[in-house]
Amino acid sequence: MDFTFSPEQEQVRETIRRFCETEVAPLVREADETEKFPRELFPKWAELGLLGIRYPEADGGSGFDKVTDCIIREEMSYVGQAFASAWSAHTHLGIWPIWKAGTEEQKQRFFRPALQGRKIAGFGLSEPDGGSNIRAMITKADKVDGGYLLNGAKLYITNAPIADFLMVAARTSPGLTPDAISLFIVELPNAGFDISALEKEGIRGSETGLIHISDAFVPDDCLLGAREGTYPVILASLSENRIGVSANCLGLARAALDQSLAFAKDRIVAGKPIIEYQAIAHKLADMAAEVEAVKWHVYYGAWRVDQGTLDSATASRVKLMASEAALRISEAAIRIHGGAGLMREYQVGRIHRDALVYVIGEGTAEIQRNIIARDLKD
């Protein structure tokens, strides 16, 4: 067993940390207040090679392993989770299926420009009536001359209001089995896609949409892979991404701890810094211990991805643990800050609101428990 990061991985961490401090941190508060994502980040991410980190160099990517991907996510979320969510929806869920199952023509048209930050992508799976259950999907695609007509709706889709294309899941046969689901690349604007931006309490600096889909024509060449053959691609991308978003939770948790530590050393109450009060020091000790536990869970999961041995129950255990811990730690941070914890001047309120996203997104905590429990029974 080797619990060290390589010098190259440490170098990547340092580079991302500096980039986030100088280029990202100044944008966080305004984006949280206006609920507008700063689009200029995409070309900047592209310049640093951050949009292609998980793809081979031969395909235009940076060829990093999952451990390095998690280092990058951790540092991104340490500074601004909303932007990390927009990035993840684009570079992992939005374009990974095209890299995995797309034709050469689809890769040239969508994947390559997305790597270069010239097109923004998103991933439309969740639905108003489907919620956590993919099998309840009602969005359907009927075959017509030259393509498909899509009808239905998608809810809570990250990047939808700013996207140039979306990966959209729809039924291509009436059966209520996962095999009935196909993936389409939908170029935007599309006359049949009515997209409205949603107002949120967390990750407000990423834009999230509700989509009404009404007779939206999608040409044959925008069907991804084989018709009704892409459900395994969806499952594989979700499993790997659960490790990724766990690294985002780690970044949030570390930020909450560091902000609290700095505050507790500075804040004088009744003549002494509050870190001198045992109740506060114990809270910080619990937070530090939990951050360490999350860290090694996340990097174990990333290592399993790199070994090609990640299973969905492991991905769910890591995600459940990391997301619940980030929420607890960020709540403790607010308690340590006292009244200041509720003030916009401090960051812990936003960190706590942002930490809520991953007990819900990418499969709720309850769904992760279902997967883990099923694995225990098997």
**Active site members:** 362
What is the smallest separation between the CB atom of 234 and ligand FAD, expressed in angstroms?
10
Residue 225 interacts with ligand FAD (CB under 6 A)?
no
122 binds ligand FAD per the rule CB under 6 A = yes
Cβ-count burial of 309 within 10 angstroms (0-12 exposed, 13-18 middle, 19+ buried)?
Answer: exposed
Residues 322-361 that bind ligand FAD (CB under 6 A): 357, 360-361
Q: What is the CB-side half-sphere exposure of residue 151 using CA atoms within 13 A?
A: 6
Could you count the other beta carbons within 10 Å of the beta carbon of residue 228? 17
Residue 152, number of CB atoms within 10 A of its CB: 23
234 binds ligand FAD (CB under 6 A): no
> What DSSP character marks residue 228?
T
Cis peptide leading into residue 178 (ω within 30°): no
Least distance (Å) from ligand FAD to the CB of residue 275?
34
Binding residue (CB under 6 A) for ligand FAD from 124, 147, 251, 341 = 124
The secondary structure of residue 157, as a DSSP letter, is: E
The only residue of 125, 141, 195, 315 in contact with ligand FAD, by rule CB under 6 A: 125
**Interacting span for ligand FAD (CB under 6 A) from 124-132, 247-255, 301-309, 326-334:** 124-132
- Give the x/- contact pattern for ligand FAD in 139-158, rule: CB under 6 A: -----------------xxx
Which is closer to ligand FAD, CB of 151 or CB of 370? 370
374 binds ligand FAD (CB under 6 A): no
Tokens of 290: 């939990």
Tokens 């700013």 correspond to 162
Instruction: With contacts defined by CB under 6 A, name the span among 25-33, 54-62, 300-308, 365-373 that binds ligand FAD.
Output: 365-373
Nearer to ligand FAD by Cβ, of 67 and 125: the residue is 125
117 sits near ligand FAD (criterion: CB under 6 A): no
Annotate 332-359 with b (16+ C-beta within 10 A) or e (fewer): bbbebbeeebeeeebbbbbbbbbbbbbb
How many residues are there in the chain? 378
Q: Looking at 236, 293, 367, 372, which residue binds ligand FAD (CB under 6 A)?
A: 367
Distance CA 352, CA 345 (A): 14
From 103, 132, 196, 214, residue interacting with ligand FAD (rule: CB under 6 A):
132
Using CB under 6 A, which of 331, 364, 372, 375 touches ligand FAD? 364
* Contacts of residue 114, Cβ cutoff 8 Å, sequence gap at least 6: 51, 90, 91, 94, 95, 120, 121
Instruction: Locate 208 and state its tokens.
Output: 């999230």
Rounded to 5°, the CA angle 62-240-150 comes to: 95
Q: Which two tokens stand for residue 309?
A: 């041995």
Question: 114 with 95: CB under 8 angstroms?
Answer: yes
Contact between 203 and ligand FAD per CB under 6 A = yes
Q: Which is nearer to ligand FAD, 169 or 294 (CB)?
A: 169
**Which residue lies nearest ligand FAD, judged by its C-beta?**
131
Task: Compute the least distance from the CB of residue 123 to ligand FAD, in Å.
Answer: 5
The three-class DSSP label of residue 122 is strand
Which parts of this chain interact with ligand FAD (CB under 6 A)?
A: 89, 122-126, 131-132, 156-158, 200, 203, 208, 357, 360-364, 366-367, 370
